[in-house]
Structure 1
Amino acid sequence: MDYRRIKRVLFVNVFMNFVFISLQKKEEVLLDMVASGAELGWLTSPVKDGWEIGQQAVNGSLLYNYYVCNVEKGEQDNWLRTTFIQRNPAASRVFVELQFNVRDCNTFEAVPLNCKETFNLYTSEADADIGTAFRKGLFRKVATIAPDEISDRGKMKMNTETKVVDNLSRKGFYLGFQDIGACVAIYSVRVYYKTCPATVQSLAAFPETVAGGENQALREVAGSCVKNAISEGQPRIYCTTDGEWVVPMSQCQCESGFEALEDTCQECQPGFFKPSVSSEACKPCPKNTEPSGPGATRCSCNDGFYRAPEDPETSACFGLPSAPQSLLSSTAQMSFGRLQLSWKPPADNGGRSDITYSVVCERCEGKTCQSCGEKVRFEPSNTELKETKVTVSELEPHLNYTFSVEARSGVSQFSHKRAVSSINTTLHYTDPPKVTAMHLVESSPTSLSLQWSVSHRAKPVATRYELMFRKKENDEEKASGTVTTFTVLVLEKNSAQIKDLSPSTVYLFKVQALSSEGSPGSYSIEQEFSTLPPAGNTAVILGAAIGGAVMLFIVVVVLLLRKRRRNSHTRQGPEDTYFSSPDQLKPLKTYVDPHTYEDPNTAVLKFASEIHPNHITKQKVIGAGEFGEVYRGILKAPSRKEVAVAIKTLKPGYTEKQRQDFLSEASIMGQFSHQNIIRLEGVVTKFKHAMIVTEYMENGALDKYLKDHDGEMSSFQLVGMLRGIAAGMKYLSDMSYVHRDLAARNILVNSNLECKVSDFGLSRVLEDDPEGTYTTSGGKIPIRWTAPEAIAYRKFTSASDVWSFGIVMWEVMAFGERPYWDMSNHEVMKAINEAFRLPAPMDCPSAVYQLMLQCWQQDRSKRPRFGDIVSLLDKLLKSPDSLKPIADFDPRVSIRLPSTSGSDGSPFRSVSEWLESIKMSQYSENFSMAGVVSMEQVLQMKSEDIRNIGVRLPGHLKRIAYSILGLKDQTSTLSVFAV
């Protein structure tokens, strides 16, 4: 067979759709076989009967290729080596792009035993060209090259493969192609490395950078701001192995007087300005300012126009207000030294809305004027008035007053000009003066002498007075409806002696002034004055008074003795004090303990509805309880709509006691009916497999839901969830039911995020949770959620449930964080007894944390009741602004962050280990992709850097930022809880 002819046929049928890959800006080519043409000069070994060079015209162009086809000559080891390829010192990774053909071994008449359909790619590094010296041992294998498609006799297939040669370190390298028995032709070899091209991003210039290798997936590059731009930190960006720029940090901004235009900062045009360093564009000069020159940072006000101190440089300039208009004094209220001034706003307010008014009063006699002084009063004030009226009182008659009203705005302080309107007025009294005080001058058994005073007048006129008096009715007269009549006296002076009165009698007096024309003024306040008793009755009255006092003393002593005797028989304990409100003493319904029934089955039948199992369809296992599996299912009872339910089952092989314990929870749940208590649909007891059927809560347990949605809910939403839990607990408390195991794990959440209290089988559930309990003489207790008195004395009350609710509040605001973190139960008990309380979670409203602390009062009688808690949470929800003040937060304590080491005290070995310790391991890939692979790099990160690598949720962003803060503190928070 003529093998040379076979070779020619192989290479004449060139794949006509062959296209060379064009050079991209991101690629720097080191070797291009096609571009070199006949000047290849590659070395072959052996020199004969191995690789050969050929040439073929394709589409009018001559294409050179290297080929070999010794498939029927036994074992082969044919090498083709390129010339020395100089390497860019920064390029540790290069790409080798091959285009080649391989013939199918099955197309030969007799398939050679050693026929191959692959060849190998090798590389060898060197610091200098070694010429024709060739040693196979210096080469390391890069890859086996296998075609995607192999060619047959009639149709040849062109293949393209790109391989990576990594970890290059010397000045240059060779490529070697080894044939071990294939019929193959290489048409193109292109060697290149990738670069990130020089670029300007966010006004920061970055130089062309060679892409990193596998040991440096992201290469950090420092840049510099363009001219007339600045940045707080040096601009940085990362170059990927694909030659792309990613994750720019520290954005540059144009200086004041410059704005961004494409990739440069240019001066503001005339008539425009920019006052500060920012990314904003220049703005046109505002109203009433002088036209600015190029590169202006502010626009000055025109003459007569000003900016207030609180006005920004970007605001317009304003003129002064004109004087108030139509200043008038009202005569309708001029009696008794009062008048009202009113005016209209200025015709020109200077463009501002902060107009205020001040009023000045002057008193004039002849040509001499002086300030009215402090005696004259203004209502509401005489300065900083926003209304266009004021009432002036304590004015004197027959004097000339001048009132000046000045209009001012925020820019009035910059000018000496005043915008003032004035008015003159004189008061002339026509009404009588006002009686201001009445007092007793002298009294006797049959007469009273009185005197009164009137308001001051500058020029008194003749005044008469009308005095009215009558005897005050006693109790019998009031009961019979008898009313005494007034006696009226008209007097010429401000005093009077009234005679012929009854001894020991109370009289009521009032007086008014009459004008000279006889018109009346207003009456004074009615006052009581008494006549003296007859002289002979004084001793009798004194004796009666003494006797009455003695009798009163005896009655008080008897009452005190009787009360002390009653208290000695009925002393309240602290828990009785807690349940002293009327709502709790008289509940609408009282809980009945099912264990008080001799036959527990009776309690089940009394409080739970029986369901036929045919009406229940189990769909999916959603959990496992102590007694058996829990299913999600459908309940379709006759004449009822189909509803989703949760189905608790009793596993086979149960004892009768286990069955009774299992159904006792239904006996408890069946007594409750509240929107925040899990609803019992019914039970299956009359068939072999007992079941408890409850409403289905789509979002499951609260603690898990919060962990899955960490940082995704606002404080307002979380407080709303707490309000629902508190309402459910108030209902239970009003029924005298003590839950004893209130925790976020026992709160269920539906699709509307409505929370419902569940799990009413404390002792049974706790036996399966040894880590969360502490064994005492009477059973097991969930230490982290239980009040101190319940741990020490097994004293469970609604007050101990309030303590547990405080822990639930902490769990909710901390998005399901474990209370007291990794402290042991003994450490928790010791810390609580030493007055330690859980610190405020991150971003917890101060009002919510204060309520937690109230729930954790050591004295249970001082803890709030659930009714108080519901009322307070309602107030917070009705006033969302009350949730804005945030409680003090210490990241080292509040989220239990290790400062410099893992849980075993040794330094963090990796970024992923650190992220796992703060429950943020889902971001490990983000840190890795951004090139943050060491804890030293982590310590240099800022909030903006964390956001740029893809951490978007506010809660997660803060948790990571606070953890870095804790790392920088170099102080382990474990010492805070050292026991």
Structure 2
Amino acid sequence: MRMCISVVTVWIWFGVCVLMNTKLETSDLRWTIYPSSDPEWEEMSGLDEEGNSVRTFQICPMDTSVSHWLRTRFTPRRGATQVYVEIRFTVMECSAMPSSFRTCKETFNLYYYQSDEDTASSTHPAWMENPYSKVDTVAADFLLRRGGERKSNVKTVRVGPLSKKGFYLAFQAQGACMALLSVRVFFKKCPAVTRAFSSFPETLPHSLVQQAEGVCVTNSAPTGQAPPTMFCGEDGQWVGPPSSTCVCKPGFEPVDSDRCRACGSGQYKASVGGSLCRVCPDNSNTHSPGSSVCLCRPGFHRAANDLPDSSCTRLPSAPRSIVYQINDTVVTLEWSEPLDRGGRSDLSYSVECVRCRGSACVPCADSVTYRPGQVGVAGRRVIIRGLLPHTTYTFTVIAQNGVSAVSHTSPASSSVNITTSRDVAVPVSGIRRTKASESSVSISWTVPPQTQHSIQEYQLRYSLKDQDDGWQYVSSKTNSVVLNDLTRASQYQVQVRARTAAGYGHFSPAANITYEESPSRLLLTGVLVAIGLLILIAVVIVAVFCFRRSSRTRDPDPDKSCQFLMGQGIKVYIDPFTYEDPNEAVREFAKEIDVSFVKIEEVIGAGENRVCDYVSPSLTRVCLSVVGSDVSPALTRLSVCLQLNDGQFTPIQLVGMLRGIASGMKYLSEMSYVHRDLAARNILVNSNLVCKVSDFGLSRFLTENSSDPTYTSSLGGKIPIRWTAPEAIAFRKFTSASDVWSYGIVMWEVMSFGERPYWDMSNQDVINAIEQDYRLPPPPECPASLHQLMLDCWQKERSSRPRFCAIVSALDRLIRNPASLKITGRIPDGPSHPLLDLRPPPPLSHCSSVSDWLRSIKMERYEDSFLQAGFTSIQLISHISTQDLLRIGVTLAGHQKKILSSVQTLRVPGGSLRY
């Protein structure tokens, strides 16, 4: 009986390259049949279910003891290292065959043979398993029987690896009554794709994963030094996100994550990244699309240290209302602020001085001094000294701000003409120390000769040497003065000037005076100090003697005393780091327990050491770490707990467990310890799902190495490859950042309910994949925010990984916002998830009420205070000041700054609102 059922279906697959498809052939296939002398395979034509003519082969051999072969023509592999063969066929059930079919079978074999040339013939290669390579023994899922449903089978097998230019397929039937309805040979490739502004070409996988190199789209640039790469899987699907992303260049904004659009007229974008174009700041504009900065309008400027997004400003107007005072040759100038500051807050002033005789004016001499200075004066008052008597001066006050240095326009200024007094007192000289006591020193000087006016008073000033800002002033009617409360054994500088009816003269040159304590005073002080030390030593000796005697009286047995204190539940914490030798603290405060009193009940965990549960002499159950024990662990770890409860924990419960683990690691990192073996198997969990970090057999204390505490292992030993950071594997550099990598693996274990990281990949395959920037995909139903946090923990650069304190804060935000856990799947292209996002809060103009605004800036604690103080609308909030915040009760400087900076976004010059 010969039978052929033609049931053909046309498949169209995206990313599939078809090498052979018999459904599309309308003429003879010209396949080779063996044995050719008495061929059993028969090629026939038929119609598929759409009425198209197709070519099929069928066989129902009379002699079932002979192998019947059918070989295809030569098929070039076109660069594929492995191909897929889809076979549509029917097989007759052996029970429906005549009894003469003694060796009837319901299976057939598929082989392949590789060759660089199309050299196969009816005799070459030999018709046997070697040199052919067996692919599979194909069995039918559905067998044909008389009067039954006519249904075909479809099997897809993988053929490879392929290395030569082409190959042949061979079908071997050994007693099967069957029909080959169609054969399709194809391979899969990853299609061209654009992700994260990176364009990847169509890629043919040559292994489990094939790395493809991409290029940034037009008007974008890579974020790192290397071009973006992505892995193409053997199934023709792209694996994971790109290793490094591309971002839009300055002047261009992202559109649909696949192209960058130029900023329009009147817009700009100053930095590289995913931000959008912004409207040009005040008094600036752009001249062409794609601008990274807005140019200032004529008459406006930016200072050298101004940011590109700052408004353009102009020069200030002139100072107003200069007022002066004359005291002999000392002039004090004061003035009012300009009417227009130029739109800037960095206003300062400079003073220019010229001396005029008749119509000729020259700059003032270098001996003229200005206090606080001549240029860059922040205040509006300057004292000028060293002027000549009876001389006319012109003083010019110039207003300046940050753009004065870049402007080509002369700054605005105001001037005033002043004439100094006619007569000046003669300077004083001959300053000397005349007498010194235990508490004072006497200073005198020579009386200067006077030709016109008598001296009315002297003014003396003194300060420690080289401390010109600490002058103290003393007045005297005579040419001597007594100075009190001086610092002993110190050197002072002293100056004196005289005052006549014409005013004060110049201070004399500084004279150095040393004040030394008398020998008798020093001797008395030394005796008193010695007596005080003797009394202190005696008191300490007596106190120690009394304390020891009292201790022996109260409790002669130190062991019993220790047990009594412990029985009362008193816990005393002794910080061993206060001792030069920590072992000394252990010997002084710890008590060794006789091993005969210890009874080990069970082993509750194991790592480098065994952790056991034992009973102490006081019948208290505690934990004990045993080195070198052969007992096996008896406690179910977190990984086992997850596997036994697969799918039974809610996402919020899993996040709570992860938060407990992160909190424990935060404590370890703050204590400068590195765990080195963080994994789900080393986490203990109780019935309340409270997780504790355990198994510290590999933990080490971090040594300080500059700003990067590191533990470097120089010894051998096993390393948990699947949980260990790449720098720790390659260089044995262990830091808290390497523990963060391990924590990311623990997160993956928890969210996959105890799945083995990297599945059945070998350790070497894991190392190679990580080096090529492969990262674990999100487990099923894993929240997108948690997978992003995992990827942050698996940053290649350890300095880019988050710290445990940031991880704890991120998980706290997730726990407070459970709705965010409903977003699952892969992370979309673009900026990172807001778990670790530190972007500023929205401006005040985007909030509809005071309550919404306070919540947006995390200041909701002051909501009742604002409402009780009368600030019930956004309009009122926009006029709030520091004094108002103090009245409301906001006293912390950081909270005041945060609130005022948010309010500032809604203000414009003049205090009005901007909508």
Matching of residue 122 in structure 1 with residue 111 in structure 2: yes
Match of 2:287 among 276, 288, 292: 292
Cα distance, 1:190 vs. partner? 0.5
Q: 1:715 to 1:308 in 2, by over 3 A?
A: farther
Which residue of structure 2 aligns with residue 928 of structure 1?
768
Q: How far apart in 1 are the matches of 2:565 and 2:414?
A: 85
Matching of residue 84 in structure 1 with residue 74 in structure 2: yes
Counterpart amino acid of 2:410? Answer: R
Judge conservation of contact 1:609–1:683 (CA < 8 Å) in 2. no
Counterpart amino acid of 1:42? Answer: W
Match of 1:140 among 118, 121, 133: 133
Match of 1:66 among 53, 57, 65: 57
Matching of residue 164 in structure 1 with residue 146 in structure 2: no
Q: How far apart in 2 are the matches of 1:299 and 1:274?
A: 9
Count of aligned pairs? 610
Structure 1 residues 527-606: aligned runs within 5 Å: 602-603=560-561, 605-606=563-564
Cα distance, 1:85 vs. partner? 1.9
Structure 1 residues 479-878: aligned runs within 5 Å: 602-603=560-561, 605-609=563-567, 657-659=594-596, 685=617, 691=621, 720-721=670-671, 817=711
Counterpart amino acid of 1:128? Answer: D
Match of 1:381 among 373, 377, 385: 373
Q: 1:95 to 1:388 in 2, by over 3 A?
A: farther
Which residue of structure 1 aligns with residue 403 of structure 2?
411
Which residue of structure 2 aligns with residue 953 of structure 1?
793
- 1:647-706 Cα offsets, whole Å, 9 max, x none, are xxx9xxxxx94346999xxxxxxxxxxxxxxxxxx98647xx664589xxx9x9xxxxxx
Judge conservation of contact 1:378–1:393 (CA < 8 Å) in 2. yes
Cα distance, 1:22 vs. partner? 1.0
Which residue of structure 2 aligns with residue 192 of structure 1?
186
Which residue of structure 2 aligns with residue 21 of structure 1?
11
Judge conservation of contact 1:600–1:660 (CA < 8 Å) in 2. no
Q: 1:893 to 1:315 in 2, by over 3 A?
A: same
Q: How far apart in 1 are the matches of 2:702 and 2:110?
A: 65
SS in 1 for 2:24: helix
Matching of residue 323 in structure 1 with residue 281 in structure 2: no
Counterpart amino acid of 1:139? Answer: Y
Q: How far apart in 2 are the matches of 1:922 and 1:960?
A: 27
Judge conservation of contact 1:272–1:292 (CA < 8 Å) in 2. no
Matching of residue 241 in structure 1 with residue 234 in structure 2: yes
Q: How far apart in 2 are the matches of 1:387 and 1:166?
A: 85
- Largest Rg, 1 or 2: 1
SS in 2 for 1:606: helix
| Unaligned runs of at least 5 residues, structure 1 | 468-489, 498-510, 521-544, 571-579, 612-649, 651-655, 664-681, 701-707, 724-747, 760-768, 773-783, 786-806, 824-841, 843-890, 897-920, 934-946, 962-979
| Unaligned runs of at least 5 residues, structure 2 | 436-441, 460-475, 482-495, 505-517, 570-591, 601-613, 625-634, 638-657, 674-683, 718-724, 736-760, 774-786, 802-915
Cα distance, 1:925 vs. partner? 4.3
Q: How far apart in 2 are the matches of 1:716 and 1:691?
A: 28
Q: 1:453 to 1:19 in 2, by over 3 A?
A: farther
Counterpart amino acid of 2:183? Answer: V
Q: 1:107 to 1:923 in 2, by over 3 A?
A: same
Cα distance, 1:79 vs. partner? 2.2
Judge conservation of contact 2:113–2:169 (CA < 8 Å) in 1. yes
Which residue of structure 1 aligns with residue 603 of structure 2?
none
SS in 1 for 2:12: coil
Cα distance, 1:146 vs. partner? 2.3
Counterpart amino acid of 1:96? Answer: V
Cα distance, 1:372 vs. partner? 4.2
Cα distance, 1:161 vs. partner? 2.0
Which residue of structure 2 aligns with residue 53 of structure 1?
44
Structure 1 residues 252-263: aligned runs within 5 Å: none
Q: 1:261 to 1:956 in 2, by over 3 A?
A: closer
Q: 1:658 to 1:754 in 2, by over 3 A?
A: closer
Q: How far apart in 1 are the matches of 2:549 and 2:111?
A: 84
TM-score (structure 2 length as normaliser): 0.50
Which residue of structure 1 aligns with residue 394 of structure 2?
402
Q: How far apart in 1 are the matches of 2:597 and 2:178?
A: 82
335-344 vs 290-299, greater mean Cα deviation: 290-299
Aligned-CA RMSD value? 6.9
Q: How far apart in 2 are the matches of 1:276 and 1:953?
A: 26
Q: How far apart in 2 are the matches of 1:691 and 1:236?
A: 56
Counterpart amino acid of 2:83? Answer: V
Q: How far apart in 2 are the matches of 1:100 and 1:377?
A: 108
Cα distance, 1:164 vs. partner? 1.6
Judge conservation of contact 1:684–1:691 (CA < 8 Å) in 2. yes
Counterpart amino acid of 2:133? Answer: R
SS in 2 for 1:413: coil
Counterpart amino acid of 1:383? Answer: V
Judge conservation of contact 2:211–2:231 (CA < 8 Å) in 1. yes
Counterpart amino acid of 1:162? Answer: T
- 1:191-216 Cα offsets, whole Å, 9 max, x none, are 1123344556666665544331xxx4
Counterpart amino acid of 1:292? Answer: H
Q: How far apart in 2 are the matches of 1:922 and 1:429?
A: 97
Q: How far apart in 2 are the matches of 1:244 and 1:161?
A: 21
Judge conservation of contact 1:327–1:423 (CA < 8 Å) in 2. no
Cα distance, 1:170 vs. partner? 3.2
Cα distance, 1:591 vs. partner? 15
Q: How far apart in 2 are the matches of 1:190 and 1:954?
A: 42
Judge conservation of contact 1:328–1:343 (CA < 8 Å) in 2. yes
Cα distance, 1:273 vs. partner? 7.0
- 1:233-282 Cα offsets, whole Å, 9 max, x none, are 56655544333455756767788888887867887766677889888877
Q: 1:131 to 1:923 in 2, by over 3 A?
A: closer
Cα distance, 1:100 vs. partner? 2.6
Judge conservation of contact 1:328–1:342 (CA < 8 Å) in 2. yes
SS in 1 for 2:103: coil
Judge conservation of contact 2:703–2:709 (CA < 8 Å) in 1. no
SS in 2 for 1:412: coil
Q: How far apart in 2 are the matches of 1:822 and 1:23?
A: 51
Counterpart amino acid of 1:606? Answer: F
Judge conservation of contact 2:320–2:414 (CA < 8 Å) in 1. no
Cα distance, 1:604 vs. partner? 5.0
Judge conservation of contact 1:273–1:285 (CA < 8 Å) in 2. yes
- 1:559-602 Cα offsets, whole Å, 9 max, x none, are 99x999x9xxx9xxxxxxxxx9999x9899999999x9997762
Counterpart amino acid of 1:180? Answer: Q
Judge conservation of contact 1:440–1:451 (CA < 8 Å) in 2. yes
Q: How far apart in 1 are the matches of 2:245 and 2:671?
A: 40
Match of 1:35 among 5, 9, 24: 24
TM-score (structure 1 length as normaliser): 0.47
Cα distance, 1:115 vs. partner? 3.5
373-382 vs 266-275, greater mean Cα deviation: 266-275
Which residue of structure 2 aligns with residue 94 of structure 1?
83
Judge conservation of contact 2:598–2:615 (CA < 8 Å) in 1. no
Q: How far apart in 1 are the matches of 2:34 and 2:480?
A: 147
Judge conservation of contact 2:94–2:104 (CA < 8 Å) in 1. yes
Judge conservation of contact 1:305–1:317 (CA < 8 Å) in 2. no
Cα distance, 1:58 vs. partner? 2.2
Q: 1:591 to 1:402 in 2, by over 3 A?
A: farther
